[in-house]
Amino acid sequence: MSYIEVTYPTDKAAFYELLAEQVKLYTAGETDAVAVLANFGAVLKAAYAHANWVGFYLVRGGELVLGPFQGKPAVSRIGYGKGVCGTAWAQNQAQVVEEVACFAGHIACDCNTHAELVLPLRRADGTVWGVLDMDSVVPGYFTEQDRDGLAPIVAALPQP
Ligand code: SME
C-alpha cells in the first residue's frame, strides 16, 4: 500500500483519533507481528513532527533487544532497570522524560535527543513483552497526554 501524507491536528484528542485510524490503515490484516511493529513505528515517526527516533525493544530473556525502529542506529541491548527503557520495563510504568540529561542512567543514542517517552507493552496478564521508545529533539515534547493517548493504541500491538 502506498503511503498517503496526512496532516495531524494540534488538538490531542483529534491527533490520537487520526493516529489510531492511520495505525489501523497500515497494519490491519497483517498477521506477522514484526511487520506490524515496523509499520506502526513508521506511522508514529510520520505523526510526531519532532520525533527523531521511534522504535521497539523486545524482552529477550533478561534484557531488552532492539526491534523495528526509525532513526539513527541505536544500542541493541538494554539491561533490566537500565536507562529509560529498562526502567519502564522494571517498573512496568510509562516514562515521560522532559529532559534526558536529568534522567539518571539515561542511555544516549543520539546527542540531539532531549525528551523521551517510553511505554511498556503488556500481555493480557499485565507482564511486559517489550517497550515502545520515542525520542525528540525538543525538550518536553512528550507529555502525559501523549502517554495516555498512546496507551490504548499500543495495547493492541501483537507480541513478536
Ligand atoms: N535512551 C534509551 C536508549 C534507547 S535510544 O534512545 C534509541 C534509554 O535510556 O533507555
Nearest-atom number in ligand 1 for the CA of 116 is 1
pLDDT digits (tens, 9 = 90+) for 54-103: 999 999 999 999 999 999 999 999 999 999 999 999 999 999 999 999 99
> Is residue 149 scored above 80 in pLDDT?
yes
- Tell me the CA–centroid distance for residue 113 and ligand 1, in Å: 10
Say if ligand 1 is within 6 A of residue 114 CB. Answer: no
Q: What is the pLDDT of residue 25?
A: 97
The preferred substitution site among 85, 96, 98, 99 for testing ligand 1, maximizing ligand atoms within 8 Å of CB, is: 85
> Which domains, from first to last, does the chain contain?
12-155 (3.30.450.40)
Q: What is the pLDDT of residue 116?
A: 98
Q: Report d(CA 74, CA 120) in Å as an integer.
A: 18
The set of cell numbers assigned to 124 is: 493480557
Burial 122-156 (b: 16+ CB within 10 A, else e): beeeeebbbbbbbbbeeeebbeeebbebbeebbee
> Is residue 1 scored above 90 in pLDDT?
no
Residue 140 zone, left/alpha/beta (φ > 0; ψ -120 to 50; rest): left
- Tell me the CA–centroid distance for residue 22 and ligand 1, in Å: 26
Say if ligand 1 is within 6 A of residue 135 CB. Answer: yes
The mean pLDDT of 15-43, rounded to a whole number, is: 98
Nearest-atom number in ligand 1 for the CA of 103 is 9
The mean pLDDT of 123-146, rounded to a whole number, is: 98
Q: 0.75 cut: is pTM over it?
A: yes
Please say whether the beta carbons of 133 and 106 come within 8 A.
Answer: no
Residue 20 buriedness (CB in 10 A; 0-12 / 13-18 / 19+): middle
> Is residue 22 scored above 80 in pLDDT?
yes
Number of H helices, E strands in the chain: 4, 6
What average pLDDT does the structure give for the chain?
97
